[in-house]
Amino acid sequence: MITKNPYDPATVEHVEMIFESYIVSSSIASDMAVLLKSFKETKLSEYEDLVQHAFTRLESQLRLIIEVRGLDAIYNAEYTVTPLFSGAILISFTGDGCRNK
C-alpha cells in the first residue's frame, strides 16, 4: 500500500525513508516547438504520455521496493514534479517505509 496518510506508531514500525526519482525528457521536435513558441495542443500529448509513463515506472519501482525490502506499506507518500528546463521534468517521490508490528 502506498498512501499519503501518516502512520500510527502504536501499530506500525518505521523502517526507512524512501527516496526515488525519475527524469522525463521529450523529443527535440517538441523542445524546438516550445522554444519557437509554435507549441500546439497536438504536441502536448507527447509530454502527457512521457509523464504518465514516468509515474507508471516510478509506481512499479516503489511496489518492487515494498516487496524486496519486506515492507507492508509506504506512508506519508509525496510526489513532486519539477520542471528542470525546456523538455525535461524531474518527478521525485519520498515516503516512510513501514512494517506492521
Q: Domain spans of the chain? A: 12-100
| pLDDT tens digits along 50-75 | 888 888 999 999 999 999 999 999 99
For residues 97 and 34, which has the higher predicted lDDT (pLDDT)?
97
Strands (E), 43-87: 73-85
> Are 88 and 23 spatial neighbours (Cβ–Cβ below 8 Å)?
yes
Fold for the domain defined by 12-100: Translation Initiation Factor IF3 (3.30.110)
Task: Specify the pLDDT at position 50.
Answer: 80
* Mean pLDDT, the chain, whole residue set: 84
Task: Specify the pLDDT at position 39.
Answer: 55
Does the structure show a pLDDT above 70 at 44? no
Torsion over CA: 6, 9, 11, 12 (sign):
positive
Task: Specify the pLDDT at position 29.
Answer: 64
- Distance, in Å, from the CA atom of 52 to the CA atom of 69, rounded to the nearest integer, reads 26
